[in-house]
A and B are shown apart, each in its own frame.
Chain A
Amino acid sequence: MAIEQKFSDLINADLDGEISAAEKAELQAFLDENAEGQALHDELASLYSTLEAVEQEEPPTFMRHIIMNSVPPARDTEESPGFLQILLATPALKYAATFAAGVVLALSIVNSDQISNQAFDSVTGLVGTVADPVQANLESSFALNEPDIAGTVSLRSAGSLLILDFDLVSTDYIEIEAAYSDRTIWFNGFAQLESDDTTVSAETGLVRLGMEGKRRYAVYLQNQGGRETTVNLSFKVDGDVVHESELDYAPTD
Chain B
Amino acid sequence: MSKTDDTKLIERCVHGDREAFEALLVEYEKPVYNAAFRMLNNRDDARDVTQTVFLKVFQNFAQFDPSRRFFSWIYRITLNESINWLGKENRLEPLLHEAADDGKGPDEEVESDRVSAEVQAALMTLSTDYRTVVILKHFLGCSYVEISNILEIPEKTVKSRLYTARQQLRDALSGLN
Contacts and interface: CB of A to CB of B under 8 A. Distances in A.
Contact of A77 (B18, B22, B47, B115): B18
Contacts of B64: none
Interface string A59-89: 1100110111011111111000000000000
**Majority SS of interface residues in chain B?**
helix
Contacts of A13: 159
Contacts of B170: 43-44, 47
Interface in B1-34: 15-18, 21-22, 25-26, 29-30, 33-34
B157 interface: no
A53 interface: yes
Contacts of A56: 30, 34, 139
Given A16-B144, A63-B51, A74 B25 contact: no
Given A63-B47, A63-B51, A66-B51, A73 B18 contact: yes
A191 B129 CA distance: 40
Interface string B35-67: 001000001101100110011001000000000
A41 B23 CA distance: 41
A106 interface: no
A57 B55 contact: no
Contact of A12 (B16, B100, B116, B159): B159
Nearest to B17: A74
Contacts of B173: 47, 50
Given A12-B162, A50-B173, A55-B116, A64 B16 contact: no
Contacts of A70: 51, 55
A211 to B, nearest CB: 28
Given A50-B115, A50-B119, A59-B50, A18 B166 contact: no
B107 interface: no
B115 A134 contact: no
A194 B100 CA distance: 36
Contacts of B17: 74
A71 B58 contact: yes
B138 interface: yes
A59 B55 contact: no
Interface in B132-146: 134, 137-139, 143-144
A205 to B, nearest CB: 22
B84 interface: no
B112 A55 contact: yes
Interface string A37-53: 00000011001101111
A53 B18 contact: no
B155 to A, nearest CB: 10
27 contacts: A8-B163, A9-B163, A16-B143, A18-B143, A18-B144, A44-B170, A51-B119, A54-B116, A54-B139, A56-B34, A57-B46, A58-B102, A59-B30, A59-B33, A59-B47, A63-B33, A63-B50, A64-B22, A67-B55, A71-B21, A71-B58, A73-B16, A73-B18, A74-B16, A74-B18, A76-B15, A134-B18
* 3 interchain residue pairs of minimum CB distance: A59-B33, A75-B16, A51-B138
Interface of A: 8-9, 12-13, 16, 18, 43-44, 47-48, 50-60, 63-64, 66-68, 70-77, 121, 125, 134-135
